[in-house]
């Protein structure tokens, strides 16, 4: 293969490193106004009155909108039709940061002054901040009519769990807690909105989901979908945090009222207090096994804190409650899941979509079981690992599964077996050392998310100069998919990658695509690009064959030239493109590729069964840690990460994905938490919200396992999200190996270790 499997640099790298790339927050249009949002200062209360007269009189103010002013349509994201919020709060506010009013003015200072002049009278009412407290009888209702604040609940039942536990020789049980954490992207949310003379709206947004945004905002604004055009802007990070967001349609309303384009950009404080961070969870899990390590049963209760509004919470709860059940050969499963309202910032998608929380529980329990029966944790996982051809309890069909190989290769690279024997005895003063493993799986596309479609399409255009332009519906959000798609097109067309350009997503001209999430881009869109490129190649070969008086089957494209099968160059690629253009009456060559995976199904609403993806990636990671038994400080010394990604299309970008995931995983495990007191986020900036720095990142050994999935382009499947998921449990398991302390709450705090070591010492004495 010419381009596939090669370490190609990002095709937009120069634009990024030189600063010439214009991000969403950089974008401006002539005559633009600036919008700001007035947010609730209380966690729960009734809005008795809003007086915006002074704000409207302020010089430079062009528009003011309040929730009480008009009956705004309900707001709901495209994939989850749960109408529990409005664009602006009307009768009630439900968290500190809830949107109450919005203004547009000639400059930001005037807009901020207008917010100060809006007077809102609140009647504060009791609030609830803990999901377990919220579920109790008599707790303050966040939404009227929702019993015990349980927004959604689900039950999953497979096999005979009680009988399996009776047969078990070892049973492990614990309760795990994960925190509220932010995606911590560099660029805040931003949008520019402009209406034209025909009543059509254009939105310039750094978004992961241009087409879903178009659907969502059409509903939110009460207009037809074709009246909205979404142009995806380059973005400075997303990680699931830049799906649909209420700032965008609010900006459109201001632009409509002001009859002028409006730009809105969040402050960093707004990012931390009024966007959609990761869903915190409390997970009680119990599992049982035989003496030989055979996993028999798992029982779990998942309580997910969705905050004030649902957003994608139902899908995230389903993911957390069910996906981990497919990692091992397990038949007896009982899970109860609850999505609970609290008076905190609404939560949403963040890399892993519920899996980092649930796999923290599962992979800790797996180590607890292996410890109970005296079996090596790697061997325990190997014994129970799912394999190619398996159909899991949730009816996932594993067309490829490299889990066994990822465990074996990560163990070999990390010197697992020797270090498991030696490290607990290896101490240096106050330092103890340990090594731990954790695994996970994920999806490559997700039919659960949007029932109407989970495929992809792509266009390949070739003009008379031989320039190739690829158009897709899935935007590059920093992970390098533009480069991957260019590689696929270049490979299939036999041309240098420099001859391929990948266009930005624009809903007016790009093919239909749901967006970039669920590790779908490489697998689904990559297949569509490949098919479009093959079709375009055949058009050029047909034209060249007629010109050369040869059969198309006797020709190929190689090195940018039309050649015979023996490699003899016969015609330049550009000449063939010119011929094809003339045959199309001076038009460009235009081909379309589509990919809609077969044998993929919706989840049954009752059983939660369904083969939701066409391919499933697997990961095994090994963390080596140092624990200071005096201070309680944990330091990750090395991270070995083996990933079954099907086929490595670009090893350079794949390794970059792993390194970024490791950094985020270490943050999730050891330091990141949005601290909320009485509903208020007390650390809403990077000065007080701790994220890993360069010194916190250990040496990373990356291994790619190529299982060659039958549904992926060249065998490829997803990588980005599962690369994050096992890191926290791998570190936790390593800490237990080092000091015999089982940490069940994230982030893992030094104070907790000191306290537990003290208790352990007192118990011995």
% of the chain exceeding 70 in pLDDT: 99
**pTM exceeds 0.85:** yes
For 102, the token pair is 């919005």
Q: What is the mean pLDDT of residues 244-255?
A: 97
Shared-domain flag, residues 680 and 728: yes
Q: What is the mean pLDDT of residues 608-615?
A: 94
Q: Which range is least confidently modeled, 154-168, 430-444, 570-584?
A: 570-584
User: How far is it, in rounded angstroms, from Cα 550 to Cα 546?
Assistant: 6
Shared-domain flag, residues 430 and 475: no
Count structural domains, the chain: 3
> What are the start-end ranges of the H helices in 178-228?
210-221
CA distance readout (Å), 415 to 325, 405, 421, 645, 731: 28, 15, 11, 23, 16
Shared-domain flag, residues 580 and 614: no
For residue 218, the enclosing domain spans 24-125+185-238+242-274
User: How far is it, in rounded angstroms, from Cα 697 to Cα 728?
Assistant: 14
Nearest Cα to Cα of residue 571 among 590, 549, 589: 549
Evaluate whether residue 542 is within a structural domain.
yes
The CATH number covering residue 480 comes to: 3.30.365.10
Mean pLDDT taken over the chain? 95
User: How far is it, in rounded angstroms, from Cα 23 to Cα 477?
Assistant: 11
Which residue matches tokens 């377990």? 132
Query: Can you give the pLDDT at residue 495?
Result: 95
Shared-domain flag, residues 685 and 760: yes
Q: What is the mean pLDDT of residues 306-315?
A: 96
Q: What is the mean pLDDT of residues 196-213?
A: 96
pLDDT category, 585, cuts 50, 70, 90? low
Question: Which residues fall within 8 angstroms of residue 759, CB to CB, at 6 or more apart?
Answer: none
> Burial code of 696-707, b = ≥16 C-beta within 10 A, e = fewer?
eebebbbbbbbb
Q: Return the higher-pLDDT residue of 72 and 221.
A: 221
Evaluate whether residue 410 is within a structural domain.
yes
Query: Can you give the pLDDT at residue 464?
Result: 87
pLDDT category, 74, cuts 50, 70, 90? confident
**Is the pLDDT assigned to residue 584 strictly greater than 70?**
no
Shared-domain flag, residues 393 and 530: no
Q: What is the mean pLDDT of residues 51-71?
A: 93
pLDDT category, 1, cuts 50, 70, 90? low
Q: What is the distance in angstroms between the CA of the first residue and the CA of the last residue of the chain?
A: 66
Evaluate whether residue 208 is within a structural domain.
yes
Reported for 196-202, long-range contacts at CB under 8 A and 24+ positions apart, including other chains, are: 199/227, 200/227, 200/228, 200/229, 201/227, 201/228, 201/229, 201/252, 201/255, 201/256, 202/228, 202/229, 202/230, 202/231
pLDDT category, 326, cuts 50, 70, 90? very high
Evaluate whether residue 247 is within a structural domain.
yes
Evaluate whether residue 139 is within a structural domain.
no
The CATH number covering residue 56 comes to: 3.90.1170.50
**φ and ψ at residue 363, rounded to 5 degrees:** -70, -20
Q: 408 with 414: CB under 8 angstroms?
A: no
Shared-domain flag, residues 423 and 554: no
Which of 534, 567, 595 is where one domain is finished? Answer: 595
User: How far is it, in rounded angstroms, from Cα 628 to Cα 208?
Assistant: 41
Q: 462 with 442: CB under 8 angstroms?
A: no
Shared-domain flag, residues 482 and 567: yes
Q: What is the DSSP letter of 696?
A: G
**Is the pLDDT assigned to residue 419 strictly greater than 70?**
yes
Shared-domain flag, residues 436 and 523: no
Query: Can you give the pLDDT at residue 29?
Result: 97
pLDDT category, 72, cuts 50, 70, 90? confident
Which strand (E) or helix (H) includes residue 654?
Answer: helix 651-670
Which of 566, 595, 624 is where one domain is finished? Answer: 595
Q: How many CA atoms are closer than 13 Å to the CA of 607, on its beta-carbon side?
A: 11
Shared-domain flag, residues 732 and 626: yes
Evaluate whether residue 665 is within a structural domain.
yes
Question: Which residues fall within 8 angstroms of residue 707, CB to CB, at 6 or more apart?
Answer: 388, 400, 401, 402, 405, 644, 646, 715
**Is the pLDDT assigned to residue 286 strictly greater than 90?**
yes
User: How far is it, in rounded angstroms, from Cα 497 to Cα 500?
Assistant: 5
Shared-domain flag, residues 406 and 479: no
Count CB-CB contacts under 10 A for residue 39.
Answer: 19
User: How far is it, in rounded angstroms, from Cα 550 to Cα 541?
Assistant: 10
Cα angle 653-658-659, degrees, rounded to a multiple of 5: 95
Q: What is the mean pLDDT of residues 508-527?
A: 94
**Is the pLDDT assigned to residue 765 strictly greater than 60?**
no
Shared-domain flag, residues 371 and 468: no
Evaluate whether residue 698 is within a structural domain.
yes
Shared-domain flag, residues 682 and 652: yes
Q: Is 585 exposed, middle or buried (0-12, 13-18, 19+ CB in 10 A)?
A: exposed
User: How far is it, in rounded angstroms, from Cα 456 to Cα 136?
Assistant: 44
For 578, the token pair is 């010119």
Query: Can you give the pLDDT at residue 764?
Result: 65
The helix, strand and coil proportions of the chain, stated in percent and rounded to the nearest 5, come to 30, 25, 40
Q: What is the mean pLDDT of residues 405-423?
A: 96
Which of 251, 274, 297 is where one domain is finished? Answer: 274
Nearest Cα to Cα of residue 304 among 266, 272, 335: 335
Evaluate whether residue 317 is within a structural domain.
no
């Amino acid at each position: 293969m010419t381009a596939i499997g090669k370490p190609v640099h990002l095709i937009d790298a120069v634009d990024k490193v030189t600063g010439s790339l214009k991000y969403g927050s950089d974008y401006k249009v002539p005559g633009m106004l600036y919008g700001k949002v007035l947010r609730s200062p209380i966690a729960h209360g009734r809005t008795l009155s809003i007086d915006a007269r002074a704000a409207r009189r302020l010089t430079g103010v062009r528009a003011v909108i309040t929730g009480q002013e008009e009956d705004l349509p309900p707001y709901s994201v495209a994939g989850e039709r749960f109408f529990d919020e409005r664009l602006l709060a009307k009768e009630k506010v439900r968290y500190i940061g809830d949107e109450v009013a919005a203004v547009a003015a000639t400059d930001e200072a005037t807009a901020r002054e207008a917010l100060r002049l809006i007077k809102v009278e609140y009647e504060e009412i009791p609030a609830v901040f803990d999901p377990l407290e919220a579920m109790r009888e008599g707790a303050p209702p966040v939404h009227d009519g929702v019993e015990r604040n349980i927004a959604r609940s689900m039950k999953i039942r497979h096999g005979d769990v009680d009988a399996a536990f009776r047969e078990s020789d070892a049973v492990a049980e614990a309760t795990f807690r994960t925190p509220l954490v932010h995606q911590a992207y560099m660029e805040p949310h931003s949008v520019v909105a402009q209406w034209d003379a025909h009543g059509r709206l254009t939105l310039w947004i750094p978004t992961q989901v241009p087409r879903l945004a178009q659907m969502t905002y059409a509903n939110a604004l009460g207009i037809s979908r074709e009246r909205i055009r979404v142009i995806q802007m380059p973005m400075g990070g997303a990680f699931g945090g830049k799906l649909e967001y209420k700032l965008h349609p609010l900006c459109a309303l201001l632009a409509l009222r002001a009859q002028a384009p409006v730009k809105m950009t969040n402050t960093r404080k707004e990012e931390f207090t009024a966007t959609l961070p990761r869903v915190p969870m409390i997970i009680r899990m119990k599992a049982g096994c035989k003496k030989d390590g055979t996993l028999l049963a798992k029982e779990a209760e998942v309580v997910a804190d969705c905050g004030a509004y649902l957003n994608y919470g139902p899908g995230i709860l389903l993911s957390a409650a069910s996906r981990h059940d497919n990692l091992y050969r397990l038949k007896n499963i009982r899970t109860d899941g609850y999505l609970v309202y609290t008076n905190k910032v609404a939560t949403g998608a963040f890399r892993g979509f519920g899996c980092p929380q649930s796999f923290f529980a599962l992979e800790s329990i797996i180590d607890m079981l292996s410890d109970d029966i005296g079996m090596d944790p790697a061997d325990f996982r190997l014994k129970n690992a799912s394999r190619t051809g398996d159909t899991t309890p949730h009816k996932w069909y594993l067309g490829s599964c490299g889990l066994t190989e990822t465990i074996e290769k990560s163990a070999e690279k990390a010197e697992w077996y020797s270090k498991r024997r030696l490290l607990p005895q290896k101490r240096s003063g106050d330092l103890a050392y340990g090594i731990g493993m954790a695994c996970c799986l994920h999806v490559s596309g997700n039919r659960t998310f949007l029932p109407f479609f989970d495929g992809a399409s792509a266009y390949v255009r070739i003009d008379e100069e031989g320039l190739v332009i690829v158009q897709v519906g899935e935007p590059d959000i920093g992970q390098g998919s533009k480069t991957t798609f260019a590689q696929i097109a270049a490979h299939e067309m036999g041309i240098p990658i420099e001859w391929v350009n990948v266009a930005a997503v624009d809903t007016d001209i790009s093919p239909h695509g749901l967006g970039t999430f669920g590790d779908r881009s490489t697998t689904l869109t990559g297949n569509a690009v490949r098919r479009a490129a093959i079709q375009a190649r055949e058009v050029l070969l047909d034209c060249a064959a007629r010109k050369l008086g040869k059969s198309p089957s006797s020709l190929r494209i190689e090195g940018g030239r039309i050649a015979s099968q023996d490699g003899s160059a016969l015609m330049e690629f550009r000449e063939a493109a010119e011929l094809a253009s003339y045959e199309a009456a001076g038009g460009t060559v235009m081909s379309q590729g589509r990919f809609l995976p077969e044998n993929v199904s919706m989840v049954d609403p009752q059983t939660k069964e369904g083969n939701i993806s066409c391919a499933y990636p697997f990961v095994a990671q090994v963390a080596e840690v140092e624990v200071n038994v005096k201070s309680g400080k944990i330091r990750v010394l090395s991270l070995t990460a083996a990933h079954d990604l099907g086929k490595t299309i670009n090893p350079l970008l794949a390794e970059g994905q792993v390194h970024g995931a490791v950094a985020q995983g270490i943050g999730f495990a050891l330091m990141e938490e949005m601290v909320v007191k009485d509903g208020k986020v007390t650390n809403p900036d990077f000065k007080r919200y701790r994220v890993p720095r360069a010194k916190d990142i250990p040496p990373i050994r990356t291994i790619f396992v190529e299982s060659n999935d039958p549904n992926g382009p060249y065998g490829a499947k997803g990588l980005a999200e599962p690369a994050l998921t096992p890191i926290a449990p791998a570190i936790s398991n390593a800490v237990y190996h080092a000091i015999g302390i089982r940490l069940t709450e994230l982030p893992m705090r030094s104070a907790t270790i000191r306290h537990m070591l003290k208790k352990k010492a007192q118990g011995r004495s």
